[in-house]
Structure 1
Amino acid sequence: MTPPLVLDIDGTLTRPDRWGIDPRVFDALREWDAPVVLATGKAFPYPIALCHFAGIPELVVAENGGVVYTGDDVHFNADPETPWAVAEAYEAAGYSLGWGPEDTVNRWRETEIAVESSQPEAPLRKLAADHGLEVVDTGYAFHVKDPAVSKGAGVRTVADHVGIDLEEAVAIGDSENDVSTFAVVGRSFAVSNADAAARDAADEVLEGGHADGTLSVLERVRADR
């Protein structure tokens, strides 16, 4: 029996240069004959678009659990106003979110904000804490979010709605925001480029990085069926 998959995107389905989905992923996802949940820190439209172009059902955990789509209902699990208050205070203190004037990274966010990872971290963390929020470093951005939401909780919501047995599920990720996902599935893998938190939480750390590592797991699981 093919197990359900829970997959991060950045660092997990991407190329080693960190930009762009590895094209081999599209066939692998489309051919997987069990549910695939995309669980990411990206804004909601990004994983929805990836599902669309990969030709798979739209089962999505976005914004680190802040937005969850179960295929028929959208669940918003945090209030966007407080993260944006942090962003405004950060910019008022003379810092930048780092994405330029159009800021397509945050334009469609609904429950959190993301700051480019080269921007000063310490003042951002202080402002977030002052507003009752936390900062999660995904290696791609600093995400200012409600500490009550997580990818793992979002994955449980999807599983409850569509009947996924998470004990049978396999998760693959690369960052501290994947730790909560690893905690709710039966088997978890960190790609070789994963940060320390993900490596410590995973059942296994892979020899391959980025999409190479992910595809190696899919091949192994398929062979074990």
Structure 2
Amino acid sequence: MKKGTNEELRDVYNKLVTSYDKVNSVITFSQDTKWRYQLIKELSKYCKEPKFILDIGSGKGELSKIAKIFYKNANFVLLDYAENMLSNSIVEGDKIIASFNNLPFRENAFDAVISSYAIHASDDMNQTIKEIYRVTKKALGITAIGRSNNILFSNLVKIYLKCLLQYLVILAHGDPNHYKYIYYIYTKVPSNKELKRIFGTYTDIKIFKEKALGSIYLFVGIKKSN
């Protein structure tokens, strides 16, 4: 993948359904679920008893499944660009096919917006966060690919993604061609310093933790007043 257009990414994700969970576990050394759990645990400290939660780039709903442990009475809406992901959902809730750069909801429609390993695919991170800000009433909880401002760390991650990742994907019985896009995304994603600046424009940042040499971040923020 050279351009990484929305259509190309949608095609990739539609093909990942059967191998997605196992590959994610292998390439993160079994940390992906742990980081999702940590994100929701941190979010629950600042967002109490939300009634409506939007999960953007939801995939099959792995993050919503964890969120239901903390928010048993909440109503969940899963939004993804890949139809196959939504049709294989592991959680109950309304399902919407749409892009997170143009969310089809009114302002303040949700008490919280959550997302895991998705928004790094955005071609315009400021627009994506602006849209999330628009539709949430209170809180944001996001984990995604980031890029450390430490040059050594960022170069080590590049080596891992370009040279080693494909072999782990094969080990997990996935197609390495479907995961080449991760390297492309990593090279274009804003640095973690820039991500914090964007998040800080729209929210009061409560948590911003870097994981895996800064290649993953956990972010929790509370919406700023207009």
More helix by percentage: 2
What is the TM-score with the length of structure 1 in the denominator? Answer: 0.31
Of Structure 1 and Structure 2, the greater strand share is in: 2
**TM-score, normalised on structure 2?**
0.31
